[in-house]
Amino acid sequence: MSISSIINVSLYLDKFFLSKKEKKRRKLEVINTLNEASNLIQEILDLEENIEEMAHILESNYKKANDSLDKAKDLIRVYFSKRKANKTKEMYLRLSKLKIEIAYIRDNNYETEFIQGYMSELITALTNFIYAKDNYINQYF
């Protein structure tokens, strides 16, 4: 038996024997991690009126949100199932769209005039991620 198959069997048994209390704790941990990512994106949205400040936090909050999403996916894979972890693709797609929008803004040196003209695309990308996160939680947790 290969090492990877032993690890897979071990992870499966760990998931199977988790107590209800532990499963609930892990579920809350996943939801909190996903909400952390969403809150970082919401923080950007809240600065819609203050474009200069938005420009300062845009890229760092995106990176932190991506890290939180990665952490949540790992928790889901380890404590729940690979299938549920794979269903995070929608959130990753929305986050990658946001990455593209941020790249356009970065290419224009975070100029406030450009951001202001580009605001509707940016807001759409931000809100789409939040909706995808909410839908995922409602569907799987």
Q: Which stretches within 1-141 are classed as H helix?
A: 3-16, 20-46, 51-79, 82-86, 89-107, 112-117, 119-140
Q: What are phi and psi of 109, to 5 degrees?
A: 55, 35
In the chain the domains, ranked by start, together with CATH numbers, are: 19-140 (1.20.120)
User: CA distances (Å), 12 to each of 15, 78, 120, in order?
Assistant: 5, 9, 45
pLDDT band at 78 (very low <50, low <70, confident <90, very high): confident
Tell me which residue of 88, 16, 98, 19 sits closest to 64, measured CA to CA: 98
The answer to whether the beta carbons of residues 104 and 55 sit under 8 Å apart is no
Average pLDDT over residues 102-117: 91
**What's the confidence (pLDDT) of residue 36?**
98
The answer to whether the beta carbons of residues 73 and 88 sit under 8 Å apart is yes
Q: What is the dihedral of CA 107, 110, 111, 112, to 10 degrees?
A: 140
Q: Which two tokens stand for residue 99?
A: 């990455």
**What's the confidence (pLDDT) of residue 87?**
95
d(CA 51, CA 126): 15
Does residue 5 surpass a pLDDT of 90? no
Which DSSP letter does residue 141 get? -
Q: What is the pTM of this model?
A: 0.84
